[in-house]
Copies of this chain bind each other. A is one copy, B any other.
Amino acid sequence: MNYKIVMEYEGTHYKGWQRQLSTQNTIQGVLENAIFEATGETVEVNGSGRTDAGVHALGQTANFRLKNNYDELMDIINAKLPADIRIISCKPASERFHARLNVKSKTYCYKIDTSPKMNVFTRRTINHFCCDLDIEKMRLAAERLTGFHDFRAFCANKRMKKSTERNLYSIDIVQNGSEISFIYRGNGFLYNMVRILTGTIIEVGMGKTEPEDMDDILASLDRSRAGMTMPARGLTLVSVEY
């Protein structure tokens, strides 16, 4: 049986999604171990995509296949998972379902807290960035970055050989007191793309660059023209749409 799962995790203590030689420190590795401990079956989990070290998820999606049937499958796996990883939905899927290949779009959210003092309770998931930002200018910049573009200037992988064209459907910038959320929905994202987009938009908000500069940065295809890469801790994979 092919299962589709949706997961929450706080990425602080992990080296990202993808399994490495030591399975202890990656979400995929820890999840595959938990499934083995719960069922005795060795599986390979397909995630919707990798999340980087320190990045969180409210709705990472994955699939895996089991030979046998289990009662309360989600609960028995959750019982083997550490407290910072939880499966929140687990359903049988069609045999053809593949969590990465079938992705239609993904939604990411980058959060910053612009207040003078870091909040001790949200510090792991909201990046403290004390700065006066011009929200309207940031929205104008975001508008110019939205759409179908070659996002090579916003890709941290310099040796990227595959296409760097993506369709960025929307960037919403939502202010709630001192907290600003940058919400991205697109058909796919390059390595560090959301963090570089956020850094570039924030530099517009700081007055370092202008909204109109976004066109040149996109056209340059040059990573050094775009803004800073924001730290992983502020980034959350909100949902994956199929």
Contact = CB atoms under 8 A, between A and B. Distances in A.
Interface stretch (A36-44, A83-91, A100-108, A166-174): A83-91
A109 to B, nearest CB: 13
B9 A86 contact: no
A32 interface: no
Contacts of A125: 121
Contact of A120 (B9, B117, B120): B9
Nearest to A78: B117
Contacts of A56: 121
A83 B113 CA distance: 14
The DSSP consensus for interface residues of chain A is loop
A118 interface: yes
A83 B121 contact: no
A119 interface: yes
A78 B130 CA distance: 15
Interface in A64-110: 78, 83-86, 88
Interface in A107-156: 117-121, 123, 125
A10 interface: yes
Contacts of A85: 120
Interface in A4-49: 8-10
20 contacts: A8-B119, A8-B120, A8-B121, A9-B120, A10-B120, A10-B121, A56-B121, A78-B117, A83-B118, A83-B120, A83-B123, A84-B120, A84-B123, A85-B120, A86-B117, A86-B118, A86-B119, A86-B120, A88-B117, A121-B125
Interface of A: 8-10, 56, 78, 83-86, 88, 117-121, 123, 125
6 A-B pairs with the lowest CB-CB distances in the bound complex, closest first: A8-B120, A10-B120, A84-B120, A86-B120, A83-B123, A86-B117
Given A56-B121, A84-B120, A121-B125, 5 more contacts: A8-B119, A8-B120, A83-B123, A84-B123, A88-B117
